Amino acid sequence: MTGEMEGPAPESRQRPAGRRNSQGIRIDPEVEAEREPRQAVISALVEHEPGVLAEVSGLFSRRQFNIESLTVGPTEDESRARMTIVVEEPDPGIEQVKKQLRKLVPAISVRELPADAMRRELALIKVDADRPDRVAAVADMYDATAVDACPETATYEITGSRRKIEAAIEAFSRFGVRELSRTGTTALARGSEFTAAERPIETQVHSPRITSPQPTADDD
Q: Which residues fall within 8 angstroms of residue 45, CB to CB, at 6 or more apart?
A: 75, 80, 81, 82, 83, 107, 108, 109, 110, 195, 196, 197, 201
pTM, two decimals, is 0.68
Q: Are residues 97 and 122 located together in one domain of the fold? A: no
Domain that holds residue 151: 118-186
The Cα 156–Cα 122 span in angstroms is 10
Q: Is 26 among the domain residues?
A: no
Is 204 among the domain residues?
A: no
Question: Residue 102: which of 59, 135, 145, 61 has the closest Cα?
Answer: 59
- Confidence class of residue 59 from pLDDT cuts 50, 70 and 90? confident
Taking alpha carbons only, the member of 166, 43, 41, 184 closest to residue 122 is 184
| Rounded-to-integer distance, Cα 118 and Cα 114, Å | 9
Would you state the pLDDT for residue 41?
Answer: 94
Asked if residue 211 belongs to a domain, the reply is no
| Lowest-pLDDT choice from 29-38, 50-59, 80-89, 190-199 | 29-38
pLDDT (tens digit per residue) in 143-167: 999 999 999 999 999 999 999 999 9
pLDDT tens column, 73-95: 999 998 999 999 999 999 888 99
Query: Which amino acid, 45?
Result: L
User: Is residue 196 one of the residues assigned to a domain?
Assistant: no
Domain stop point among 54, 85, 113: 113
Residue 54, pLDDT score: 87
CATH number where 93 lies = 3.30.70.260
The pLDDT assigned to 210 comes to 37
* Count of structural domains within the chain: 2
Residue 29 counted as domain residue: no
**Going by C-beta distance under 8 Å and a sequence separation of 6 or more, which residues neighbour residue 103?**
none
